[in-house]
Structure 1
Amino acid sequence: YELAGLETARIPFGLTVLAEALGAEVNMGTVDRQPSVRSHPYSNGLSKFKMPENLLELKRIPAVLKATRLLKERVGGKLPVIVGFEGPVTLAGHLLGIERMAVWIRKKPEEVKKAFEVTTEVNARYAEALVKAGADVIVPCDPSASSDLFSPRDFEAMIRPFLARLAEEIRAVKVLHICGRVTPIVKAMAETGYDSLSIEEKVNMKEAKQLAGDLATLVGNVSPAKTLLSGTPQQVKEESIQAIKDGADALAPGCGLAPRTPIANLKAMVEAALEYES
């Protein structure tokens, strides 16, 4: 906002905050590599899982809640405060192991459903705390729910019900982000009850717009790596204007911004939106 003119305030995050709080070992990464899970504490399943009474006091969760309150105090009334976290499928993959979960979805579907029940409940409790701390927009980011990993049939039968359950629990504007080539599941994503869907540049915005219809608005989908990180301001403007023409309701990066993204390129994205609007 202050440096580039972006019209939102979002807390940087890694997709490991909840996993770490529930016992996963995390490699905290570097400026160029986000934190990642190194161990899976529930490799035998979550059938005996009990929600920690002090969940909101564990690991990095208090820091995120404090950051949300501070950001609300600073920009509340001027900008929407956005906070994201790992969605139910991604969190389940962190706890079980994504390869194990991919096998179990066929061989032990009840174990996977139990895992999704647990992670959806954890997500809902965390989302409630974030909203109380001042978050205006909640973004479950669920890359492991992508049709790059699971079939549209698996999404419909196993994943969609839990994303929909989470949507019902979030008492704020809610945006669902799923990475990858999600065109085969865009319609199902739109039917889960989120206000908006955030999609990557791998998805054709025009086609996604047709599939989502009036069920959800679309956010995206300027390439964060190819264009915003590595491109020129002119390339950023061209891709941004094309995204708007193709149907983006809110212009944004297609996924997380790399820390070394040039400010000039972020300014170019904002300028493209303003110029197109005028």
Structure 2
Amino acid sequence: CIKRRFPGPWHAILCASMSVVRALFKAAVLPIIPVWTIAIHSDYAKVDLLLITEAGCPPCQEAITSRLDALVSTDGLADILNVVHHPFGNNYMSTEACGGWPYDSGRRRCWANTCVNVSSPPPDCFSGVIVTQHGQRERKVNMMQACALAEATSWQQYWPFLVCMEKHYEQSIGVEPAAACAEESGLEFAHLMSCYDGPRGVIELIRHASATVDHDFTPYIAVNGMQVREKYDLLEAVCAAYSGPEPSACGGVQFGA
């Protein structure tokens, strides 16, 4: 554990957390994500929408609070979607092979290609310091979102919390909006804080780090495994991917236009 990066009480918390994290990785537990967040095709008609963001990214905030929120709020669309969110985005973890601070996009890409979705990642892939693109506030909010993902019973319950946290990101210095956002989404704030303040918060965030595939930019949005790059393609991509009865929102969509 690197003391100079986290002085004061954060040093003790993170050092203890890293010990727990290392033990869990040895037991091959960490890659497990809450069941409802995994792209499982038990219901063949569901469309998987994968979202990779980091809390302090302005384009991510815009996407979540406007076009993505509008998409999932459209009548009938939430019923055909399985939304998977990984709140780790452009962050990475310090390793011997790729380095750590200061933040560098090349180091992030090195870490992603060395540590994520590989059969035998180096032992230090998920035990180092979390390196954020937009500072320590981003790490705090990412962690709170990871805790909310773990506590939520469905993506529909989690979604209002995510939108609320991103709307208030610039007006806060940390996770102050979490209490109001938890109430809005029906989550237990005490449970969120228990996760956030203890070793579990780091563990939950690293769960999502281990699932954050390499990407060119954030927000990274994929529909059934295919990246959607353009704003106007998102509704079209969801409607085209759905194999069940056409929702009213998909009526009149011009595919490939």
TM-score (norm 2): 0.27
TM-score (norm 1): 0.25
**Structure in which a larger fraction of residues adopt strand:** 1
